[in-house]
Every structure is written in C-alpha cells, then in structure tokens.
Structure 1
Amino acid sequence: MKKKIYYLVKRYKLFLIVFIILILVIIFEKNTGLRAFNSVKDSFFQMLSVLPPIMIILGLMDEWISRESMMKYMGDDSGIMGIAIAITFAAFAAGPMYAAFPFTAVLLKKGVKFTNVIIFMNAWCVIKISTLLFEISSLGYKFTFYRLLIDFVGVIAMGYLVNYFVMKVGKEDKILSSYMKEDV
C-alpha cells in the first residue's frame, strides 16, 4: 500500500505542488485564488469538450488506415506527397495545440516520417482554414496570402531542421554510448 501511495505521489508531484499552491493562494488572497481556480476549471472543461471527439477520430483512424498505407503516403519515401498530406490534415484540424499530440503519437506509430510529423504539428499551429477565414475578413487577402506563403515555407523548413537536429543528437548519443562501452 505504501509503495502505491509513494508511486502516485511521485507521478503526480507537479500537480500536487500546484494544487497546494492554489489552496494557499485561496487562503491568503481569496479573490486572486478564486479567479485562478475558475480559470483552471474553465480550461479543464474546455479540454474535456475537445478530447473525446479527437480520441474517437484517432481510434477510427488507427483501425481504418493501415500502417502500410500511411508509410506509402507519408513515410520515408513520400516526398512532396507526404508534406502535402501533413499540411492538409493540419489545415482541416480543429482544436488547440494539445489536441495535436495524440495525433502525432498515432502518426509515429503508423510509421510516418518524422519530418512529416513535425510539419503536421507546425501546420496545426499556423495553417488552419478557420483561422484563415477570420484573418481574410479582418486583415485582408493580401496580408493573409503573404503570411500563408511565409508559413508554408517556415513549416516545411522547420520540419527538416528539427529532423536534422534530432538525427544529429541521436547519432551523437550512439557515438557517446559506444565510447562508454569501450571504457568499461
């Protein structure tokens, strides 16, 4: 029983610390604490309204789309087609950024090229059709076109840069671990 409690405290340490701080703020600064609590409560309920539909879509995607298909269209040899699919998925997506993380887990599980996963995540943040429609009506076609053009280039460049640096660090880790084995 003690091991189970220790495990739970260790696992949820950050949550418990923040919760205790929130209680202390409510005790010493009631108005500030209640505003903070209401903000946390609103964010929690917003998250609960977004995540179940996303989990259903992910479950269907996981079952209906085979790993071979995902690897064919978005895998290592996908080229421009993989980039286009990643950007299209993200452009039609709805929800905040934290909703993209379960999608990325499924994409990685299905064998999607890491560059395409990063492109998907970046495009989720900056290239959404709902945002584009609002932006056109508020800021005009010209601004939206130039921002979108810069975003396309930036999203693709960021995907390749992140992939390059991750692979570089991965190679250094392999080299370091081989040195460490030699010393032993």
Structure 2
Amino acid sequence: MNKLLRRYLFFIILLLIQITFLVIEPTIGQKSLSITWKNTLEMLSVVPPIFILLGLMDVWVEKETMIKLMGDNSGFRGIIIAFFLGSMAAGPLYAAFPVAGILLKKGSKLSNVLIFIGAWSTTKIPLLLFEASSLGWNFMLIRFLLNIPGIAIIAYLSERILSEKEKKDVYERNSIATQGV
C-alpha cells in the first residue's frame, strides 16, 4: 500500500489542489478542471497510437539490426538515422520518451537516443514549415542549421560526462520501465 501511495503521491496532491480550488474559487476550479480534461483527451488521442507503433517496432525490429544501425559502432549513420527519426515524428515531445525507451532497449547508443529526442523537439518537419510560413525562410533555416550541431554537441557531451555506471543505470532503469512492452 505504501508503495502504491508513493507512486501516485504527485497525482493525489494535484487532485487535492484541484478540489481545494473548486471549493474556494469555483470559477478558477472549473476552468482548471476544463483545461485538465482537454489535456487528458489530447493525451488519450496521442498515446495509444504511439504504444501500438512501439509494440510493432519492438516485435518487428530485431535487436541486432538496431545495434547495427544505431548502436555503439554505428558512427555517422546512427546520427543521421536518429536525426531522421526525430525529424519525421509527429506529436508532442512526451510521445518521444517511450520511443526513446524502445531505442535504448533495442541497443541504441545513448548519444543517438539523445539526438533523436533533440531532433523530435526542435527539427520536426511540421514545425519547420510552420516557422517558415510565420517567421520566414531565413529565420527557419538559420535556426535549423544552428540546432543540428547544437543537438549533436549536447548529446555527445552528455554521453561523455556520464560515467559508465551512470550510463549503465540509464539502461537498467529503462529495461525496468519497458518490461512488458
């Protein structure tokens, strides 16, 4: 019971805050509840398709293939694949983390997974097209060209700074989190 309570403590605290606002300031509480409901519906529209695709990826892509394409010895090819996967993605950033978990589970190099997350957050094609139409092609191209080396540098620095024990811990925590996927 204690473990269950600890697991959902943050949710319980937020629920109590929500109830408090509904009692003390009903207008703010109702607005907050409405926003929470809209966000929940959005999440429910994004997460199930992501998990279906993850399940298919987990079954269809062999670990040896992933290690060859994005593992420790993948070199420049792994970087390009990570950028491509992240840039072609659609959906909010929170959908990238389960995908990153499967990439780690399949043997991808940590820096390639970090590049994937960086690309998902900053170089998605729909985002680039929106930027180009709103802020102009020059702005979009400059930002995009600055982000590419920035993402790679951050990913490789992060991997270099982490000790072998810390990297091993990342992979172990991920294997626990992705059990059953």
Q: What is the aligned partner in structure 1 of residue 30 from structure 2?
A: 34
The one-letter code sitting in structure 2 at the alignment partner of 1:100 is A
5, 9, 34: which one aligns with 1:9: 5
CA distance in structure 2 between the aligned counterparts of 1:81 and 1:30, rounded to whole angstroms: 55
Q: What is the aligned partner in structure 1 of residue 51 from structure 2?
A: 55
- Given the alignment of the two structures, is residue 124 of structure 1 paired with residue 120 of structure 2, yes or no? yes
1:65-110 per-position Cα deviation (integer Å, ceiling 9, x unaligned): 1101110010001111000000100111011111011001100000
Q: What is the aligned partner in structure 2 of residue 114 from structure 1?
A: 110
5+ residue gaps, structure 1, are: 174-184
- Given the alignment of the two structures, is residue 44 of structure 1 paired with residue 3 of structure 2, yes or no? no
Q: State the percentage of identical aligned residues.
A: 44
- Given the alignment of the two structures, is residue 18 of structure 1 paired with residue 31 of structure 2, yes or no? no
Which structure has more RCO (C-alpha within 8 Å, separation ≥ 6)?
A: 2
147, 154, 173: which one aligns with 1:158: 154
What is the Cα deviation at residue 10 of structure 1? 2.4
The secondary structure found in structure 1 opposite 2:162 is: helix
Report the TM-score, using the length of structure 1 for normalisation.
Answer: 0.87
1:110-144 per-position Cα deviation (integer Å, ceiling 9, x unaligned): 00000000011111100000011111112222111
What is the Cα deviation at residue 41 of structure 1? 0.8
The one-letter code sitting in structure 1 at the alignment partner of 2:39 is S
CA distance in structure 2 between the aligned counterparts of 1:13 and 1:139, rounded to whole angstroms: 42
Listed as ranges, the matches of 1:168-179 within 5 Å are: 170=166
The one-letter code sitting in structure 2 at the alignment partner of 1:165 is I
What is the Cα deviation at residue 49 of structure 1? 0.1
CA distance in structure 1 between the aligned counterparts of 2:116 and 2:129, rounded to whole angstroms: 20
Report the TM-score, using the length of structure 2 for normalisation.
Answer: 0.88
CA distance in structure 1 between the aligned counterparts of 2:107 and 2:101, rounded to whole angstroms: 10
86, 89, 92: which one aligns with 2:88: 92
Q: What is the aligned partner in structure 1 of residue 74 from structure 2?
A: 78
54, 65, 70: which one aligns with 1:69: 65
Equivalent pairs, count? 168
CA distance in structure 2 between the aligned counterparts of 1:127 and 1:43, rounded to whole angstroms: 24
What is the Cα deviation at residue 9 of structure 1? 2.0
CA distance in structure 2 between the aligned counterparts of 1:127 and 1:50, rounded to whole angstroms: 19
The one-letter code sitting in structure 1 at the alignment partner of 2:163 is M
The secondary structure found in structure 2 opposite 1:77 is: coil
